[in-house]
Structure 1
Amino acid sequence: MKKILLSLSICATILSSKAQENIYPAKSFSGKTYLVNATVHVGNGKVLENTTVVFSNGKISEIGTNINVPAASETIKIVDASNKQIYPGLILSDTDLGLKEIGAATPGSDDYEELGDYNSDIRSIVAYDATSMIIGTLRTNGILLASVSPQAGTVAGLSSVVQLDAWNWEDASYKVDNNLHVHLPSFSNRPSRMAMYMRMMGMDASEEGGAEKKAIETLEEMKAFFRQAQSYLAESVPAEHNIKFEAIRGLFEKKQKLFVHANEVKQMLAAIDFSKEFGFDVVIVGGTESWRIADLLKTNNISVILKEEHSLPTNQDDDVDQPYKTPYLLQKAGVLFALNDTHEETRYRNLMFNAGTAAAYGLTKEEALEAITLNAAKILGIDDKTGTIEVGKDANVIISEGDILDMKSSILDKAYIQGRDVSLQNKQTELYDRYMYKYNLKK
């Protein structure tokens, strides 16, 4: 009983401290903001020196070297970015941010999965917690947008893009229900850690066999589901209203994309088969072995989100640094790809350093930047609004003292989401300030 009460007490403490009530979403600014004398990394490969960026009403209105800058006033804000770097806000392409707070430690803070295998009507956006403590640590590192998705089930549900400075999920919504996520079964009979342990102990691990047969059966079930949806949606007046099929009407109308979570070549070939049979716009999420069939992905116009670059290769015969080289190989083949960060311990805030690693293994720095800005925006269908620093787009902009891809010099000074000067404070910076004050080290 004591253990139960202690666990409940710990859970209550963690949950009560989960939000940061003294860090508020920024208010909109109706005047003009001038970022002057900066090096601007546009996000499309171009770099502009000694440039001024102007935004008003949440949009970028001017970019140039000969812009007349008025005096600062209540309606005019001037930010001197001399010797600093300006970048588009970074984009996390697939995440459980706002759906999972502390994982298994406190199940009450998690809402990233649903019971059942076919949950096409599940909407991640309505479960998104805009007060998550993790969000502040991402903003501090320049990540301003994220695509939040359900994480379990064969057909997991619909993801939405959120901006990371909001009071609630309604405020956070940037593009809603734009992608359906499915998880393909593994075709591989590679033994799991549990199976290897069972064999070491002399126990039966025969359930590991037959993976390919099971995978084919699951794929046929998935195809049957989408064929039924296709038939249902072809009816002008269906006999019965089916919410699971109605939720993915946009998939057949090419207003949504099919995000297929797959790492093995056979899984990705199955995804290409889905694209051909149903005419879906398909994106591979994971793509560990995508480099093996890069030309085929390009031919079939399949995009890739590489989920975790800082990891070991899946095959024993692969080069140990293969995950670092994969972005370059996809770039070389002309495949549209984005980099991502799904690391559970760092909780996704090292996205830009994943890109920095890719730049050390073949990509140029501007190509690596595109993989976490413009490319991600294209894949998520939001490149008309963000992803680059261009006139007419949302003022999602960050200012760094140095190279955003470099761990030593990537120090953020400012971040703007839709023109709002957002807070760079988070729980970690608050603790830093607290103990600097305690030991009289704060200047």
Structure 2
Amino acid sequence: MKKNITAIIALLLAGGVASAQDDVYPAPEYKGLSFITNATIHVGNGQVINNGTIKINNGKIEQVGTNIPIPVDDVRVYNAAGKQVYPGMILPDTDLGLKEISSGVRGSNDFRELGDWNTSVRSIVAYNTDSRIINTLKANGILLASVSPQGGLLTGTSSVVQLDAWNWEDAAYQLDGALHLNFPSLLQRRGRFGGGGMQGQNDPIKEALARVEAVKQFFREAKAYLAEKTHAETNLRFESLRPLFEKKQKLFVHAGIVKEMLVAIDFAKEFGVDVVIVGGSESYQIADLLRENNIAVILSPMHNLPTLEDDDVDQPYKTPAILQKAGVLFAINDDHGESRYRNLPFNAGTAAAYGLTKEEALQSVTLNPAKILGIADRTGTLEVGKDANIVISAGDLLDMRTSLVTDVFIQGRKVSLENKQTQLYERYKKKYGIN
């Protein structure tokens, strides 16, 4: 009797696991040769190859072009006739894997720290590879993400992850590539009747500038500390700034309006650090200045209203084309809390409708974020020597009407596209007898 009960419990548990998980395990490493044939290949650098072939060897792209010979034995061949092939897209700034259910379920979230000076916080160690959101991104062609912490002024470091892994160690694609600064808001909000607020309140701009000065003082003290050869005591907060001052790390400044970005530019000049603007809703107004100072921009969010009432209602859609024309390196991001980031390709598609070419729009979610994040030598385009991070779509990847991702490869591994939505789709097809 005990054996029967044990067997029943085991079956129930097995069934529960099978139905509760999106996919049971990440795709195993494949050491052999793979070929994607007969495809329209969007290389990601502006080049498009018709009826092309990609040769993959041990997870790396070995050849891209036409008339590539294919061995008869011991190879995998994926016929992509009539389909479009793209580099995997990159989400350049996100809380993916740190925030699961943002409202009311604290146990599913680990994205925010207390205090202002969290320079030693590393987002990668909190990254949850079992997040249900991850697989919905892969199904839309997003294969890499830069996971960023929040909380305080200096929030900690972000790392790039690939989205098919057992744990954070397996997921890690680039560790601690950027330190994040939440810039104090210099936007003066009007009161209900057009005034600057209630009498007696503190001046918010003055307070924000005081916080900016506090950040500068923190950096000055850190730089002085790091200039000393020996220390009586180790200051972990200052030590964690060493890669930034050595230019092994970038400073991602979360700022939207012109005033904030101008101060960020001065910040970069004073401390000699590489600055990237995250947000940049008004970056189009100082595009030339950003280019002259070699400052990149991560635009986020795009499907949103403009910052100020007097701005054109479609200004967020037009900004990418303005930055492109000015020669500013920029990437498009999606940080929408309800759609949970999966509409990244369609943000780029909107930019293509407002001035970018389709290939420029593609670069804004592939090659450009790879350059900003410092991983362009490994990914971002379908070029020889890079990781085989590849998306195959039955239609235009950037067009919500026709995009249909059929196959995805991460570092040459063909990964599952199953997620909660596909499971529900199959469940109710069966229920109502739909073929």
- Taking structure 2 as the reference length, what is the TM-score of the superposition? 0.93
Moved over 3 A (4+): 16-19, 204-209
- Specify the alignment match of 1:46 in structure 2: 47
Tell me what 2:127 maps to: 128
2:246 corresponds to: 253
Give the superposition deviation at 1:358. Answer: 0.2
How many correspondences in the alignment? 417
Residues of 2 paired with 1:170 and 1:313: CA distance?
A: 39
Superposed CA deviations along residues 60-96 of structure 1, whole A, max 9, x for unmatched, are 011121111123x5x3100001111110000000000
SS of residue in 2 equivalent to 1:94? strand
Give 1:115's aligned amino acid: L
Distance in 2 between residues matched to 1:78 and 1:433, nearest whole Å: 27
Measure the CA separation in 1 of the matches of 2:226 and 2:289.
30
The aligned counterpart of 1:372 is 365
CA distance in 2, matches of 1:37, 1:183: 47
Structure-2 change in CA distance of 1:250 and 1:424 (3 Å): same
2:338 aligned partner: 345
- The one-letter amino acid of 2:30's match is F
Distance in 1, matches of 2:248 and 2:201, equals 39
Equivalence for 1:103: 102
Deviations, residues 241-272 of structure 1 (Å, cap 9, x unaligned): 11111112110010000000000111001110
1:55 aligns with 2:56: yes
Name the amino acid aligned to 2:27: A
- d(CA) in 2 for partners of 1:159 and 1:280? 16
Check 1:128–1:207 CA distance in 2 against 1; reply closer, same or farther (3 A cut). Answer: farther
Query: Does 2:271 correspond to 1:270?
Result: no
Query: SS of 1:130's equivalent?
Result: coil
Letter in 2 for 1:321: D
Q: Displacement, 1:22?
A: 3.9
1:24 shift after superposition:
1.7
* Matching residue within 206, 217, 225 for 1:213: 206
Checking the alignment, whether the CA contact within 8 Å between 1:96 and 1:149 is kept in structure 2 is yes
* C-alpha distance in 2 between matches for 1:380 and 1:149: 12
Question: Which of 235, 238, 255 pairs up with 1:242?
Answer: 235
- The whole-number CA distance in structure 2 between the counterparts of 1:414 and 1:206 is 60
Q: Do residues 399 (structure 1) and 398 (structure 2) align? A: no
2:300 and 2:229 map into 1 onto residues whose CA distance is: 39
Amino acid at match of 1:350: N
Cα deviation, 1:217-254, whole Å, max 9, x if unaligned, reads: 00110001111111111112222111111112110010
Instruction: Determine helix, strand or coil for the equivalent of 2:238.
Output: helix
Could you say which residue in structure 2 is the equivalent of 1:112? 111
Q: Which residue of 2 aligns with 1:69?
A: 70
> Does the aligned pair in 1 maintain the 2:128–2:167 contact within 8 Å?
yes
Equivalence for 1:298: 291
* Cα distance in 2, alignment partners of residues 434 and 384 from structure 1: 42
Aligned residue identity for 1:245: F
Output the CA distance in 1 between the equivalents of 2:25 and 2:200: 51
User: What is the CA distance between 1:119 and its match in structure 2?
Assistant: 0.2
Contact 2:261 2:277 in 1 (8 A): yes
Q: Mind listing any 5+ residue stretches in structure 2 that lack a counterpart?
A: 1-16
* Conserved 8 A contact 1:144-1:417: yes
> Is the CA contact (8 Å cut-off) linking 1:18 and 1:133 kept in structure 2?
no
Q: 1:53 deviation in Å?
A: 0.1
The structure-2 alpha-carbon separation of the partners of 1:428 and 1:207, relative to structure 1 and needing over 3 Å to count, comes to: farther
Letter in 2 for 1:62: Q
Q: CA deviation at 1:208?
A: 6.3
Percent pairwise identity = 61
Residues 256-309 of structure 1 show CA distances to partners (whole Å, capped at 9, x for unaligned) of 000000001110011101110011100000000000111100010000000111
Unpaired segments ≥5 residues, structure 1: 1-15
Equivalent pair of 1:189/1:209 in contact (CA under 8 Å): no
1:146 is matched with which residue? 145
